[in-house]
Amino acid sequence: MSNDKKLKIAMIGHKRIPSREGGVEIVVYELSNLMAKAGNRVDVYNRSGAHVSGAEFKSDNMPIDGNIKIITVPTPKSKTLNAFVYSFLAAVRSLFGRYDVVHFHAEGPAAMCFLPKLFGIRTLVTIHGLDWQRSKWGGFASKYLKFGEKTAAKYADEIIVLSRSVQDYFKNEYGRDTVFIPNGVNAPEIRTASLITQKYKLEKDGYILYLGRIVPEKGIHYLIDAYSQIDTQMPLVIAGGSSHSQEYFEELKQKAQGKNIIFTDFVQGRELEELYSNAYVYVLPSDLEGMPISLLEAMSYGNCCLTSDIPECTEVCGDKAVCFEKGNTASLKKQLELLLKNSDIVNGYKAEASQFICNKYNWQDVCRQTLSLYRGK
């Protein structure tokens, strides 16, 4: 394919766009918009059904380019069948779309990447993380996700990975070369606290923040345990929707009872921007990540970040954030206490975070590199 030829592209694997339901949705939204603005035609295969946090979450502040066509695929409500049926139907439909490229996102949907490949269509898979390791999936789902990973390794023309550790994993496990293209981030507009002050009585530099999905592998239980052992007046804010893990959400709320902990549920728009803009410290205590967009975003807002020491986090933030030992509540407590007692350390990290992360990761680079892979460069 020549460099100036405009492409017709299919995106399969996310829940729906425009949406901030998870990292995959943000990636598909950003890439599709930039590719469409460059004159390419992008068909985005959305799953039917409501937003994970309820129909009231519309994404009016996420415009869609005119070159993007949204195709809604009928999807069963069953959690077990949802991704399988959607991926199969979307992959079959893609065979008739006259696409130059079909791009699958995540390991489950990748199980169907052999279909367009067998019909001679250039096929790419982005591995957003080793999903079969995630604790929310039971035996069958975990095996299916692993099957998707193997299918990608065997059939995809190119595999994109978001971290060096996953790149090493594919080389060791399958002898398969992959292309490392990390996620991007947009330089944000910093917001003064007004909505969050009205709703939650939160002030600038007056709270500890976790913002992300409420699922076990994010390690929020460690954060609540560590916070509960610290003597502080500063509230802990846990912002995010529960996705497939309502039971876990209820457990966390139980743990947090009687403590100065605020659950906001799913946030977007102005509320999300204000939460990122005014936190004293942002904590990401994950056991498992692909490439954490919430960490990129938190740093882009100039936050001092405290993360677990998994490579997917440390690769992103380098020495511009504070780390604790994964899964170790005592280590998390120690580092959080250090930051609560030393605002000069916090301000030092805040001063450097935004410029560092916005220079290192931007969506224009991600889009350019991905389009070049589409063209076989």
Domain positions in the chain:
8-184+362-374, 195-360
Low-confidence ranges of the chain (pLDDT < 50): 1-2, 53-58, 60
The amino acid occupying position 123 is T
Identical fold for domains 8-184+362-374 and 195-360, yes or no, is: yes
pLDDT value for 54: 47
pLDDT value for 247: 87
CATH for 8-184+362-374?
A: 3.40.50.2000
pLDDT value for 132: 64
Please report how the helices 79-94 and 139-155 are oriented relative to each other, as an axis angle in degrees rounded to 10.
Answer: 20
Backbone angles phi, psi at 126, to 5 degrees: -100, 125
> What is the C-alpha separation between 281 and 279, in angstroms, rounded?
5
Is it true that domain 195-360 has CATH number 3.40.50.2000? yes
Q: Check: CB of residue 373 under 8 Å from CB of residue 7.
A: no
Q: What's the pTM?
A: 0.84
pLDDT value for 80: 64
Edge-to-edge strand list for the sheet holding 158-161: 68-73, 41-47, 8-12, 101-105, 122-127, 158-161, 179-180
